[in-house]
Amino acid sequence: MGQGALSHAQEGAHLKSALPPELGRRVAERALFQDRPVLVRLTVEGEGNSASVELPIHVDPTAVSGFRLTTPVGAEGFEFVLDGSTDGSDTLRINARYAGLSVNRALSYARFLRALYWDKGTLYLTRLEPYEERFALFDLPLPLNPSNKSATEDRVRFLEALDEIGRAAGTALVCPSEVDEGNLRNLNHILKVIRGGWVALPVTDFTTPMTSEGVKNILDLVKQDGDVVRDLAMTS
């Protein structure tokens, strides 16, 4: 993961809805009230796995034809826009901004974006208020840009590592705005401590007050125990 790779992710696709075109707007109006945003759950389900996010969404009443489902202005870290036309040719746009979010929330966003790349499955919208009702939006796979897939996988692994560190430390971590190679090295060292209880760092040289004869005796003793130490540079 290169510098700055964590801060922003965007996906877009032109696709066919799982709904018949004539039912699209009717379902949108039924799923959401137009006078205020409603809490919904977006879920990708496929081959025994699932990933979901919860966010406010409303129907944009200014849509000229078809319908538009969108997150309200200022939604925390996640923008969802679905433009549906009367002929069933829909446009989906998802924009995630991770910087400043809690790691837990950012990880749920990243896992959801990763799930959009699955080869099989369905994207569902579930209205959570005033009662639950679920609607199928699209069948997978979605025509997303394949060059973004590896970056999405890297982002999930990085956030999973931060989440593991936060849980081990009992601390709520926040996503950084940028990540460089030094950050990644430090992260790996911390994970080794958490998972193994210690960290082995390379030793290039050291000085001991022992005499050469004393060093030779120690090495002979180590060899007798079955372990062989090679390439030790010792000075007396």
Question: What pLDDT score does 215 carry?
Answer: 56
Least confident stretch, 115-124, 142-151, 180-189: 180-189
Least confident stretch, 84-93, 108-117, 180-189, 220-229: 220-229
Strand partners, 14: 91
State pLDDT tens for residues 131-159: 898 988 889 988 888 888 999 999 999 99
Q: CA–CA separation, 234 vs 236, rounded Å?
A: 7
Average pLDDT over residues 63-85: 82
Q: How confident is the model at residue 227 (pLDDT cuts 50, 70, 90)?
A: very low
118 contacts: CB under 8 Å, gap ≥ 6: 44, 46, 47, 49, 140, 141
Q: Higher confidence at residue 76 or residue 16?
A: 76
- What does the domain layout of the chain look like in residue ranges? 8-160, 202-236
Tell me the whole-structure pTM to 2 decimals: 0.73
SS3 at position 31? helix
Looking at every residue in the chain, the average pLDDT score rounds to 77
The segment with the largest mean pLDDT, out of 32-46, 128-142, 176-190, is 128-142
- With 60 as the cut, is the pLDDT of residue 3 above it? no
Strand partners, 51: 44
Q: How confident is the model at residue 66 (pLDDT cuts 50, 70, 90)?
A: confident
Nearest to 13 by CA among 140, 180, 182, 198: 140
